[in-house]
Amino acid sequence: MVQAKSWVLVKHFDGFPKDSDFAIKVEELPEPKDGEVLLEAIFLSVDPYMRLFSKMHMKEGDVMIGTQLAKVIQSKNSAFPVGSHVVTSCGWTTHSISDGKELTPVMADWPEDVSLSLALGAIGMPGLTGLYGIEEVLGLKEGETLLVNAAAGAVGSVVGQIAKIKGCKVVGSAGSEAKVAFLKELGFDEAFNYKTITSLEEALRKASPDGYHCFFDNVGGDFSNVALEQMKHFGRVALCGSISVYNDSFPQTGIFPHTTINHKELKIQGFWDTQWKHKDGESLKRLMAWCKQGKLQCREHVTKGFENMPAAFMGMLRGDNIGKAIVAV
Ligand SMILES: NC(=O)C1=CN([C@@H]2O[C@H](COP(=O)(O)OP(=O)(O)OC[C@H]3O[C@@H](n4cnc5c(N)ncnc54)[C@H](OP(=O)(O)O)[C@@H]3O)[C@@H](O)[C@H]2O)C=CC1
Ligand SMILES: CCCCCC(=O)/C=C/[C@@H]1[C@@H](C/C=C\CCCC(=O)O)[C@@H](O)C[C@H]1O
């Protein structure tokens, strides 16, 4: 018998999450039946969508939603032998039983010198999101200027680096001096700390006086409204997320951007990476190749200990992470 520890949502978040919203539950798992496997979490992901979708898809008492990199420790399913690794969306739990249907094996020939945790980051969902946002949504072309916010995070850091690979000028914003230094290290042409500037409008204009062909928006809210004003005519926007409003209990009010969008004839597309799932295999190989060639730095912010899942999650929402926020069990 194996004991599974899980973090449950005790109370729906009201504003910014707090420790008392979470509690640990322990349960004994049965032996896997024919066709099933027993999984042990190695790395768990904490992502912004968990804050947003907890309200839509969870009830109080449910295990927190989420994805992990797990090892098969018992198997009665020949497709997933003992010792193999999978990505699974079984939530914030140390052990789980699966019939294999929802499991994604990690890419074949995963190099030994590359941490498997990257399957939750730059060579996983956030990396794919950056790649698809650039190629499928924006159709970013050589010589164009791209703006990305939350640029030092999991998605943003990949976006900026791919845009540089494609021969573009890249401007990034992030919430600390250490993050700005990181962006410069990654090759961003311009980077600024949005928390310390006196005017976002001025900072954006200074970074690219001629405006922006493309905007990869992770933040939403006021930032987006100001940035839209500085798009070039026929500019394209990949609306990836809007983390600045995820913790709001009531909708924010702000300026209405519709006249700007119409006047500049902007194209704005909301998207999820899952739209291009059929391309994931090839796309992950490309991300891995860039990583091995040193063209894609895959920085992580690792929190040790399953007991620290809520702290890691809240830290990511607060902006503690440079690169992908991960928990190592
Ligand atoms: N469409 C899709 O398929 C997907 C969308 N996403 C979206 O992409 C965005 C980034 O996700 P991800 O890369 O995983 O997370 P990150 O690794 O970027 O972590 C979140 C970051 O958001 C920033 N942040 C938090 N609050 C604010 C705020 N009020 N204003 C500006 N920045 C803030 C913080 O950085 P800082 O210090 O710079 O403030 C923090 O580090 C999110 O909006 C997410 O929902 C993610 C994955 C898939
Ligand atoms: C208003 C949505 C903006 C959120 C952007 C984002 O972070 C998306 C991330 C997805 C995420 C979706 C998780 C749960 C989906 C719930 C199903 C539903 O509402 O239909 C996860 O799949 C990784 C990203 O694709």
**Ligand 2: which atom is nearest the Cα of residue 274?**
25
This prediction has a pTM of 0.98
* Closest ligand relative to 157 C-alpha: 1
CA distance 94 to 101: 19
Q: How far is the CA of 240 from the centre of ligand 2 (A)?
A: 10
Return the H-helix or E-strand segment holding 159: helix 154-165
Q: Is the CB of 150 under 6 A from ligand 1?
A: yes
Radius of gyration of the chain from its Cα atoms, rounded to whole angstroms: 20
At residue 248, does pLDDT exceed 90? yes
Domain contains 293: no
Q: Band of the pLDDT at 121, cuts 50, 70, 90?
A: very high
Ligand 1 pocket, residue 322 CB under 6 Å: no
DSSP 203-245: HHHHH-TT-EEEEEESS-HHHHHHHHTTEEEEEEEEE---GGG
Judgement on whether residues 106 and 186 belong to the same structural domain of the protein: no
Q: What is the pLDDT of residue 59?
A: 97
Examine the domain organization and report whether 257 and 231 are in the same domain: yes
- Domain co-membership, 49 together with 92: yes
Q: How many angstroms does the Cα of residue 113 sit away from the middle of ligand 2?
A: 31
Ligand 2 pocket, 252 CB below 6 A?
A: no
In the chain the beta strands, taken as DSSP E runs, fall at 2-9, 22-29, 37-45, 68-75, 85-88, 95-98, 104-105, 145-148, 169-174, 190-193, 212-217, 231-239, 267-270, 300-304, 324-328
- Plot region of 61 (φ>0 → left; ψ -120 to 50 → alpha; else → beta): left
CA of 127 to the centre of ligand 2 (A): 15
Q: Ligand 1 in contact with 276 (CB < 6 A)?
A: no
Question: Measured at the alpha carbon of residue 287, what is the angle toward residues 165 and 282, in degrees to the nearest 5?
Answer: 115
Confidence of residue 63 (pLDDT cuts 50, 70, 90): very high
CB of 276 closer than 6 angstroms to any ligand 2 atom: no
> Do residue 12 and residue 129 come from a single domain?
no
**Nearest-CA residue for atom 11 of ligand 2:** 49
Domain total of the chain: 2
Band of pLDDT at residue 1, cut at 50, 70 and 90: confident
Q: What does the block give as tokens for 121?
A: 């980051």
From ligand 1's centre to the CA of 64, what distance in Å?
19
Q: Which residue has the least CA distance to atom 14 on ligand 2?
A: 53
Indicate whether residue 138 lines ligand 1 (CB < 6 A): no
* 70 vs 120: CA distance, rounded Å: 11
- Nearest ligand, measured from the Cα of 272: 1
Give the domain CATH number at 32: 3.90.180.10
Domain of 237: which CATH number?
3.40.50.720
The set of residues, in sequence order, having a beta carbon less than 8 Å from that of 151 and lying 6+ positions away, is 157, 159, 160, 172, 173, 174, 179, 183, 188, 191
Q: What residues make up the domain containing 47?
A: 2-121+299-328
Query: Quick check: is 279 in a domain?
Result: no
Rounded mean pLDDT, 119-135 = 98
The reply to whether 184 falls in a domain is yes
Average pLDDT over residues 12-17: 97
Tell me the one-letter amino acid at 226: V
Q: How far apart are CA 308 and CA 118, in angstroms?
A: 19
Please indicate, yes or no, if residue 294 is contained in any of the structural domains: no
Q: What percent of the chain has pLDDT over 70?
A: 100
pLDDT greater than 90 at residue 234: yes
Same domain, 140 and 216: yes
Question: Is there a domain that residue 287 lies in?
Answer: no
- Note whether 169 and 72 are same-domain residues: no
Q: Is residue 284 part of a domain?
A: no
281 belongs to a structural domain:
no
pLDDT tens digits, one per residue of 128-178: 999 999 999 999 999 999 999 999 999 999 999 999 999 999 999 999 999
Per-residue confidence at 254, pLDDT binned at 50, 70, 90?
A: confident
Average pLDDT over all residues of the chain: 97
